[in-house]
Amino acid sequence: MAPPRPVDALVRISLLPVRRLRLGPPATRLARRDARPRTPAAASAPLDWAVQYAVPLLGVAGAALYGVLRLAYVFFYLQLRATPEEVGYGYLEVLSSQLIGAIELVLLVTAVLFLAGIAVHGARRALGRVSRGRAAPRPLRPVLVRIAVRAAATAVAVVLAGLPALAWHQGAKAKSGLTVRNVYVLHTVRLPVLAVQAVPASVAWVSETPPGLLDISARRCLLYLGQAAGTAVFYDVSSRESIRVPTSLVVVSLHNADGVPFDC
């Protein structure tokens, strides 16, 4: 048999089946890639991030918040010659009575700053359109996120710096003889900011005056600050001194007044 001619070889090669690879559009390829099942490592990545970063940050934020709140209580009672622990404000009491109010105050300030930021952004955008003509609109969502983040950060800074200053101001009012009870942000919005008290009071002994203790039953310029560990703490506006007596030996009557008598 004679060897095949070159033309016959070309014909045979051209008759071989040809496989075509269908790639499809780029969007389809991306969708197929996203539809692939995630590995366990990829699925647990958000949880690992939360454990590594979020939990320590929450702990640091809680410690910083407690430090600022305790500093505020110290500033208030320091002017009345007492400490927060003497009137019943320890770690748990400060957090339980103050944490919710501080968070509400942060949210309130954040909302106010957020609305102000939106108003400023809208005014700038309107002025830009007037000066440069009609421009292509920008995506609104990134702008709102940026304004919200800035408003929240500013609100936290304002609250952390403002609480000690507010406590010092309220302590000065109490030192002058005015009634201070549960400091609120505004008179219309009842958000408790500081759960402190300095209330006009009168004291009577259960029996005769015990030996070795001051007879405070005749004092008219007393402010009741609180009690802890069986000891009641008072501040005398006239003599500028703090007085501590056992709670089991006295009967305390709180007065619904704006302050101690004017002649104190």
Task: Give residue 64's pLDDT.
Answer: 75
Q: What is the pTM of this model?
A: 0.68
Is 30 a domain residue? Answer: no
H helix or E strand, kind and range, residue 24:
none
DSSP string for residues in 54-105: IHHHHHHHHHHHHHHHHHHHHHHHHTTT--TGGGT--HHHHHHHHHHHHHHH
Which residue segment(s) compose the domain that 153 sits in?
54-254
Q: What is the pLDDT of residues 132-150, one digit of tens each?
A: 555 555 677 888 888 888 9
DSSP 186: -
Place of tokens 């009137």: 87
User: What phi and psi, each to the nearest 5 degrees, are found at residue 11?
Assistant: -65, -45
> Does 163 fall in a domain?
yes
CA-based angle 110:149:51, to the nearest 5?
A: 110
Residue 262 is assigned to a structural domain of this protein:
no
193 lies in some domain: yes
**Local confidence pLDDT in tens for the 264 residues of the chain:** 555 555 454 444 444 454 554 545 554 554 455 445 555 554 455 556 555 655 666 667 667 777 888 899 999 999 999 999 999 888 787 777 777 777 788 888 899 999 998 888 887 777 765 555 555 556 778 888 888 889 988 988 888 888 899 999 999 999 999 999 888 776 555 667 888 999 999 999 888 777 767 778 889 999 999 999 899 999 999 999 999 999 988 999 999 999 999 888
- On whether residue 1 sits in a domain, the answer given is no
Query: Both tokens of residue 215?
Result: 């007879």
Count of structural domains, the chain? 1
* Residue-wise DSSP of 111-162: HHHHHHHHHHHHHHHHHHHHHH-S-PPPPHHHHHHHHHHHHHHHHHHHHHHH
Q: Establish if 202 belongs to a structural domain.
A: yes
Instruction: Report yes or no on 85 lying in a domain.
Output: yes
Strand duo 222-228 + 241-246: pairing: unpaired
Whole-number pLDDT of residue 200: 96
Domain membership of residue 156 (yes or no) is: yes
